[in-house]
Amino acid sequence: MKKLFILFSIALFAGLNANAQKIEVLYFKADLACCRARACDNLEKDVQSMIGAAYKADDLKFTTVQISDEANNALVEKHNARSQTVVIVTTHRRKETVTDISDIVRIYSRNRDKTNFEKELLARISNATK
């Protein structure tokens, strides 16, 4: 009886976990001269810190993807990524939705308006999870 209860509990938990929504922000990064000069590194840190301040690590995963790493070729192709491409990937009930937010990242890298960028970034993440 105990074994049956344990198996039932595991199955129930696995079923509930399969329906949970997963959110991941992918930051694609190249090995370019500007990146070595810290432009890409600073932008990456800004995006990561804004997300980290608003979300728990359990709620949203931030991942840096090196474009030059051959292990990432499929991911780079899938998202048609270049340097500083940023996408939000939400998975709910095995259905994946991708939202490219590279446009606001490019604007931020030019005007450095941190307040407006943070507001827009968090709004886009919120909209992607609805």
The domain limits of the chain are: 21-128
Task: Tell me how far apart the alpha carbons of residues 47 and 64 are, in angstroms, rounded to a whole number.
Answer: 11
Band of the pLDDT at 39, cuts 50, 70, 90?
A: confident
Rounded (to 5) percent helix, strand, coil in the chain: 55, 20, 25
The answer to whether domain 21-128 has CATH 3.50.50.60 is no
pTM to 2 decimal places: 0.81
Six token digits for residue 85:
């491409």
Higher pLDDT, 50 or 35: 50
